[in-house]
């Protein structure tokens, strides 16, 4: 090969390699945060890290506007609590499409490719609340897209949890849809197939490990360290492949062997559980990225699907009903800083968010002369953790090794920061707290005492909404009370 053709081959290799990464990787952008990053900074963060697809759980106006003319393809979601209205009225569906798809496509230049109708509506924990309305809502949204002249360019899908299928034999070849929703799933898949839309599935190896203490840890990862599972002529070395191919078997059994699939959510959290940490998250996500960059699929589907990493940024106001880890799925911390190194392909590492402004460098901590036996301490911690995120204090979490005074200081500071360091916010705790300009965190450990984003210094930033605070209060109250009891009892014992 002469030098020209050699150099051209190298150039082509790098161009195709980068194209492969760009076409194969998306991310989820959740908005349940008390101090959200400004949308323009988030969009720049995605572009800097070559995420060219994003999934939103709702059509947030500021997020949608920021995505306009960005070159990022968008899957925009419809929350589950809107499904009943859309299922019951084609007119409601048409209005939603007009306001949240047609408008942003034509007026804002948002590259909308998919509408996600609901989010995991068939979870068993919902007790069939959405079972009868999801398919009619999907049909009405599809009809509305067609009426708006968007049926060819924008596809309606339903992001589903992997519990909609199972294998009675324990191996992927035994896969079929869950018996209680089998016929419904077949109807939905047929409808999607008829309209040229993909099936969207969320797969979480972490949850397999979280739910079963006897689950083989190495089987959750992609580095071939686990004992393999043999299914006929196929050998599986990780749960992602086995789970995905269980779905493929279910589709094959029901007449859809070539059904296109999107993995709508997959990732690993970094806090809130003993198996949720930066080391394991990096191990999982790096293995996932390597597969995407190598063009590797699963044994039954060698070509990888489009994958949306869950998630881009931590969300401190999410419900913790599934577990404390729910607020810590981000590849980036809440402020867009990097949690751990990731090779994104071609030697490119993660790039942190730029232009983020913070509140003053000051913290609220337990006063040095405050007594740990003060009877007001438990209720003070309970109050702080009801209105702020204390999930990092749980057993096995990044701040789980603090002493009683450190726990109280962490709780007080999270409340103080969540309340924007406002005057009097550190005085809510019965003279047990003071403001300091000396960072009380780190000291060789993993625990970080946060300083929040100063949304007021970002020109278009949104202040924390009451809906986020309400979500946090309803989710955390009982947990906060238990935490306060653990802190005090731990000290007394």
Q: Residue 338 has what DSSP assignment?
A: B
pLDDT on residue 466: 37
Given the DSSP bridges, would you call strands 53-56 and 111-117 parallel, antiparallel or unpaired? unpaired
> How far is the C-alpha of 453 from the C-alpha of 473, rounded, in Å?
21
Please compute the mean of the pLDDT values over residues 220-242 and round it to a whole number.
96
Q: φ, ψ for residue 91 (rounded to 5)?
A: -65, -40
Place of tokens 């707290």: 433
pLDDT on residue 190: 98
Please compute the mean of the pLDDT values over residues 70-76 and round it to a whole number.
97
* pLDDT tens digits for range 390-435: 999 999 999 999 999 999 999 999 999 999 999 999 999 999 999 9
For 446, other C-beta atoms within 10 Å of its C-beta total: 16
Taking every pair of Cα atoms in the chain, the longest distance, rounded to a whole number of angstroms, is: 82
Please indicate whether residue 100 or residue 345 has the higher confidence score (pLDDT): 100
Q: What are the Cα distances from residue 474, in Å, to 45, 318, 387, 468?
A: 31, 10, 10, 10
Please indicate whether residue 469 or residue 486 has the higher confidence score (pLDDT): 486
Q: For residue 5, what pLDDT band results from cuts at 50, 70 and 90?
A: very low
Q: What are the Cα distances from residue 168, in Å, to 174, 175, 344?
A: 6, 7, 37
Given the DSSP bridges, would you call strands 111-117 and 363-366 parallel, antiparallel or unpaired? unpaired
Q: Which residues are catalytic?
A: 120, 265
Q: Tell me: pLDDT of 382 over 60.
A: yes
* pLDDT tens digits for range 328-365: 999 999 999 999 999 999 889 999 999 999 999 999 99
Written as six digits, the tokens of 193 are 């197939």
pLDDT on residue 318: 97
Rounded to 5°, the CA angle 381-268-246 comes to 135
pLDDT on residue 462: 42
pLDDT on residue 326: 98
pLDDT on residue 487: 52
What burial class does residue 3 get, using C-beta atoms within 10 Å of its C-beta: 0-12 exposed, 13-18 middle, 19+ buried? exposed
pLDDT on residue 458: 74
Q: Say what the pTM is.
A: 0.90
Can you give the C-alpha Rg of the chain in angstroms?
Answer: 24
Among residues 31, 93, 19, which one has the least CA distance to residue 67? Answer: 31
Q: What percent of the chain has pLDDT over 90?
A: 85
DSSP notation for 415-436: HHHHTTT-TTGGG-STT-EEEE
Hey, CA dihedral for 205, 337, 57, 125, is it positive or negative?
positive
Please compute the mean of the pLDDT values over residues 30-50 and round it to a whole number.
97
Q: Tell me: pLDDT of 237 over 60.
A: yes
Among residues 405, 384, 403, 372, which one has the least CA distance to residue 479? Answer: 384
pLDDT on residue 292: 94
217 CA to centre of own chain: 21
pLDDT on residue 399: 95
pLDDT on residue 48: 96
Please compute the mean of the pLDDT values over residues 199-216 and round it to a whole number.
96
Q: For residue 240, what pLDDT band results from cuts at 50, 70 and 90?
A: very high
> How far is the C-alpha of 22 from the C-alpha of 24, rounded, in Å?
6
Q: Tell me: pLDDT of 286 over 60.
A: yes
pLDDT on residue 449: 95
- Mean pLDDT (the chain, rounded): 90
Q: Residue 266 has what DSSP assignment?
A: E
Q: Tell me: pLDDT of 482 over 80.
A: no
List domains and CATH numbers for the chain: 3-327 (3.20.20.80), 363-492 (no CATH)
pLDDT on residue 113: 98
Out of 181-195, 312-326, 474-488, least confident range:
474-488
Name 189's Cβ contacts closer than 8 Å, sequence gap at least 6.
199, 251, 254, 256, 259
27 CA to centre of own chain: 8
* pLDDT tens digits for range 101-127: 999 999 999 999 999 999 999 999 999
Please count the residues of the chain: 493
Per DSSP, the chain holds a count of helices (H) and strands (E) of 14, 15
Q: For residue 459, what pLDDT band results from cuts at 50, 70 and 90?
A: very low
Q: Tell me: pLDDT of 3 over 50.
A: no
Out of 43-47, 217-221, 413-417, 483-487, least confident range:
483-487
């Amino acid at each position: 090969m002469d030098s020209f053709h050699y150099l051209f081959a190298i150039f082509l290799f790098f161009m195709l390699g980068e194209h492969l990464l760009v076409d194969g990787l998306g991310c989820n952008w959740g908005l349940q945060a008390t101090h959200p990053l400004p949308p323009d900074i988030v969009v720049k963060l995605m572009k800097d890290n070559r995420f060219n697809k994003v999934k939103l759980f709702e059509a947030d106006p500021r997020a949608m506007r920021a995505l306009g003319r960005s070159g990022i393809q968008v899957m925009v979601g419809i929350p589950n609590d809107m499904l009943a209205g859309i299922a019951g009225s084609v007119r409601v569906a048409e209005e939603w499409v007009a306001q949240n798809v047609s408008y942003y496509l034509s007026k804002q230049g948002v590259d909308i490719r998919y509408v996600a109708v609901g989010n995991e509506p068939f979870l068993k924990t919902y007790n069939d609340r959405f079972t009868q309305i999801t398919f009619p809502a999907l049909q009405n949204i599809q009809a509305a897209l067609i009426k708006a002249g968007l049926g060819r360019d924008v596809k309606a899908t339903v992001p589903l949890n992997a519990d909609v299928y199972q294998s009675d034999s324990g191996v992927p070849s035994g896969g079929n849809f869950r018996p209680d929703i089998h016929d419904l799933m077949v109807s939905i898949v047929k409808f999607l197939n008829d309209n040229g839309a993909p099936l969207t599935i969320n797969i979480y190896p972490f949850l397999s490990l979280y739910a079963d203490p006897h689950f083989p840890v190495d089987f959750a990862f992609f580095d071939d360290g686990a004992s393999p599972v043999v299914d006929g002529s196929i050998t599986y070395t990780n749960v992602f492949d086995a789970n995905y191919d269980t779905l493929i078997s279910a589709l094959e059994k029901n007449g859809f062997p070539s059904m296109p699939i999107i993995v709508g959510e997959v990732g690993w959290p970094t806090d809130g559980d003993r198996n949720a940490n930066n080391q394991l998250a990096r191990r999982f996500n790096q293995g996932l990225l390597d597969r995407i960059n190598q063009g590797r699929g699963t044994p039954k589907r060698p070509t990888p699907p489009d994958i949306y990493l869950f998630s881009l940024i931590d969300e401190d106001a999410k419900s913790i009903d599934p577990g404390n880890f729910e607020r810590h799925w981000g590849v980036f911390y809440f402020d867009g800083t990097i949690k751990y190194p990731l090779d994104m392909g071609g030697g490119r590492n993660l790039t942190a968010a730029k232009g983020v402004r913070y509140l003053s460098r000051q913290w609220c901590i337990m006063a040095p002369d405050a007594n740990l036996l003060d009877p007001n301490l438990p209720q003070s911690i309970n109050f702080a953790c009801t209105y702020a995120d204390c999930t990092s204090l749980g057993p096995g979490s990044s701040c789980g090794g603090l002493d009683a005074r450190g726990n109280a200081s962490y709780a007080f500071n999270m409340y103080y920061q969540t309340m924007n360091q406002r005057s009097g916010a550190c005085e809510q705790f019965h003279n047990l707290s003071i403001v300091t300009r000396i960072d009380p965190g780190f000291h060789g450990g993993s625990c970080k005492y946060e300083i929040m984003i100063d949304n007021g210094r970002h020109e278009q930033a949104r202040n924390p909404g009451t809906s986020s605070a309400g979500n946090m209060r309803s989710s955390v109250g009982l947990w906060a009370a238990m935490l306060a009891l653990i802190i005090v009892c731990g000290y007394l014992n």
